A = this chain, B = another copy of it.
Amino acid sequence: MSDRVHRTAAVLAVGDEIVRGEKLDTNSSWISARLTDRGIEVVEHATLADDQDAIARAIGDLCGRVDLVIITGGLGPTPDDLTRAAIAQAVNRQLIEDKDALDTIRTWFERSGHPMPELNRVQALKPEGAAHLDNPLGTAPGLHLPGDDRRSDVFCLPGPPREMKPMFASCVAPALNPPPDHSITTRLIHTVGLGESSVAERLGALMDRDRNPVVGTTASGGIVTCRLRQTGENALATLDDLEREVRHRLGLYVFGSGEQTIQSTVLDLLRERRMTLAVVESCTGGGLGATLTTVPGSSDVFLGGWITYSDRMKRRQVRVPTAVIESDGEVSRACAEAMAVGGLAESGASACVAITGIAGPGGGTDDKPVGTVWICVAIAGEEARAKLDARRFCFPSDRAGVRRVSVIWALAMLRLSLLPDSGSSGLALACEQESARSVAPAPPPA
């Protein structure tokens, strides 16, 4: 092992099936997350076909630019497994047979009651100066070629994740040498209800690229996540200050951090308040229930609900008055409120969320274009009266997008109506067009 400090790293994946898109490479992402956690800056991933010259060229290039190169794939026994030869070519060394590695491979086959096919003999080859890394779960040993002052350390692991992961833990992780002054600490703050650019406007200079700590944002299906990243010492104290500032600027739009999701947050709020939840879904077709039940243990809060995709289901199952459907239509404030109130009464839950809208591509009109969605949150109150919060949205997206964001915004509305700050439910949400808060008597349970 060289005593080279690993400030920067690159991760290489090798295989025709990956570069052609027949197989998704998850190794590079998995390895990068672990290097980042240890304070090593991953600057690049590359994926290459089974082409020895191309692999050798990439390794040679990266070896001069980063401190650490980790390669997965191309260590199998077949003629299209070329990583061993490519490393030797890149660093201009001979390939030699490692007797111990050969014995290990032979033993591996004997244990499985078969003689070793001659084909597997190539797996015992290694570039001069490299060391084999033991693979307890397969025939392909890994490789480690120590670096020097001109060349980075190179580790090579087999492609199958179930072989690669334990080998990373046992052979690579202990050899990592991150810079002591360069530990990276990351924190995630999740928001809902604002567009990515509105979040960025509120964060302002906090997002300047040259700051340390720096804030970046990523948006996914209605959730905007702020990544706070600090390089160097005393990260915790600095990140605490930054997180306080970020939370201050984003206010009630912040719903959680780290591993929390909007659905886990909402379920926790309900659990704290000893409340139960039901849903009544039209255009989302069950997506809200499916999202809530991704959380293990959601059953102690979530009772279930209705997919009232047809008007008959709306009328019969949650007793939406026929008059409402005839006068206001199925996508209307009155219908959303009736669905929520009916679901509340029928389920006996203490909260109910209803969604009705036009996901498209068809069904839009001038006053109710595709993307028009009414969401109503009903909270059981005194004397069988329910507090209602109904909002109309217009999501500029396709069918899948309208449905996905409807689910997220419904959870955001439920969260707001559960927050102690009474004014909070007045918070405007992105794409919101019309609001109404009222109180309605809940029909008696059937």
- Using CB atoms and an 8 Å cutoff, list the residues of chain A in contact with chain B: 13, 15-26, 28-36, 42-51, 54, 58, 76-80, 108, 111-114, 117-120, 136-137, 139, 160, 162, 166, 186, 195-198, 200-201, 207-209, 216-220, 227, 279, 281, 283-290, 292-294, 296-299, 302-310, 312-313, 316-317, 346-348, 359-362, 394-401, 403, 430-433
Given contacts A19-B42, A50-B209, A108-B396, 7 further A-B contacts (CB under 8 A): A21-B34, A22-B186, A162-B397, A285-B289, A286-B288, A296-B362, A307-B307
With A29-B18, A34-B21, A46-B44 as known contacts, state yes or no: A308 contacts B304, CB within 8 Å.
yes
Q: Name the distance in Å between A110's Cβ and chain B's nearest Cβ.
A: 10
Determine the residue in chain B with the shortest Cβ distance to A31. Answer: B21
Q: How far is the CA of A396 from the CA of B189 in the complex (A)?
A: 34
Q: How far is the CA of A54 from the CA of B42 in the complex (A)?
A: 12
Do B77 and A197 have beta carbons less than 8 Å apart? yes
Q: How far is the CA of A77 from the CA of B219 in the complex (A)?
A: 11
Q: Name the distance in Å between A310's Cβ and chain B's nearest Cβ.
A: 4
Determine the residue in chain B with the shortest Cβ distance to A139. Answer: B197
Do B111 and A220 have beta carbons less than 8 Å apart? no
With A32-B19, A111-B396, A207-B78 as known contacts, state yes or no: A119 contacts B293, CB within 8 Å.
no
Do A296 and B117 have beta carbons less than 8 Å apart? no
Partner pick for A317 among B220, B298, B302, B317, CB 8 A cutoff: B317
Do B137 and A397 have beta carbons less than 8 Å apart? yes
With A310-B304, A395-B112, A398-B162 as known contacts, state yes or no: A80 contacts B209, CB within 8 Å.
yes
Do B162 and A400 have beta carbons less than 8 Å apart? yes
Partner pick for A79 among B79, B208, B396, B430, CB 8 A cutoff: B208
